[in-house]
Amino acid sequence: MGKAVTEALVEYARPRPGMQVLDLASGTGEPAISLAVRVGAEGQVTALDLSTDLLEIAEKRARDRGLENFVTRQADAHALPFGNEKFDLATSRFGVMFFRDPVLAMREALRVLKPGARACFLAWGQFEQPYWQSTIGVVHRHVGGTLLAPGSDPFRFAKAGSLSEVLKRGGFRECEEETRTVAWTWPGTGEEVWEQMRSVAVPFRPMLDRVPAHSWPRIHEEVHAAIRRYVNGENIEFGATVVLASGSK
């Protein structure tokens, strides 16, 4: 489902053959794997994440693609285990929103980048868009109250200029930002995408746990009806509004 989002960030980052790339909060391996393809055998991509379990998945996915220029590192983006000026490019897809201290993380990224190198980030846009409104939004209309778990906000940088401001505060120059809508397509049924959403919706878990058992049948019915508006053939085409921001050292 995130293929177009990954492609948008990779194109925005403009990787070149031979680059040394650091992908922060890499999770199961994107955009790190796509970047490894682009930088070629002369380059290398380091996928960094706090979760060793997710990095094991990333390693397997890279091996399955025959990539020998892909390495993983378990570490915190706020305290990078690298010397100064090691990388030509830093990226993160849907990770910066969850950094404990985004400015500190930016300063660390700046430290490990070479002079003139760029850092490129992609974050979610506003909550008011089809994917969220037809799923989590339906639940929230039923139960009300707090939408998100404390300290976990996927929409932290939805406000225009907020992500580029963090880059500036972290020491980056020539900071840019844009909001873009790209494909966000589920290749299957509404029941499947709703099940998948509930299984990974960590920021919304406290709200989901507040739903009384007797309310779930009605919620499921309304979610499926909302999702059906985006069905196109065998796919569900939500679209995704995202924020892209970058800065140079």
- pLDDT exceeds cutoff 90 at 142: yes
- pLDDT exceeds cutoff 90 at 149: no
Q: What is the pLDDT of residues 3-36, one digit of tens each?
A: 999 999 999 999 999 999 999 999 999 999 999 9
- pLDDT exceeds cutoff 90 at 69: yes
Q: What is the pLDDT of residues 184-196, one digit of tens each?
A: 999 999 999 999 9
Q: What is the pLDDT of residues 207-223, one digit of tens each?
A: 999 999 999 999 999 99
Query: What does the domain layout of the chain look like in residue ranges?
Result: 3-248
DSSP the chain: --HHHHHHHHHHH---TT-EEEETT-TTTTTHHHHHHHH-TTSEEEEEES-HHHHHHHHHHHHHTT-SSEEEEE--TTS-SS-SS-EEEEEEES-GGG-SSHHHHHHHHHHHEEEEEEEEEEEE--S-SHHHHTTHHHHHHHH-S--S-TT--TTTT-STTHHHHHHHHTT-EEEEEEEEEE--EESS-HHHHHHHHHHH-GGGHHHHHTS-GGGHHHHHHHHHHHHHTTEETTEEE--EEEEEEEEE-
- The pLDDT assigned to 48 comes to 98
Q: Region 232-243: what's the mean pLDDT?
A: 96
- pLDDT exceeds cutoff 90 at 200: no
Residue 131's closest CA among 229, 224, 236, 238?
Answer: 238
Confidence band, pLDDT 50/70/90 cuts, at residue 230: very high
* Cα(62)–Cα(33) distance, integer angstroms: 6
- The pLDDT assigned to 217 comes to 97
- The pLDDT assigned to 139 comes to 97
Q: Region 138-146: what's the mean pLDDT?
A: 95
Confidence band, pLDDT 50/70/90 cuts, at residue 155: very high
**Which residues neighbour 174 within 8 Å (Cβ) at sequence distance 6 or greater?**
247, 248
Class of domain 3-248: alpha beta
Percent of the residues in the chain that have a pLDDT greater than 90, as a whole number: 96
Other Cβ atoms closer than 10 A to 16 = 14
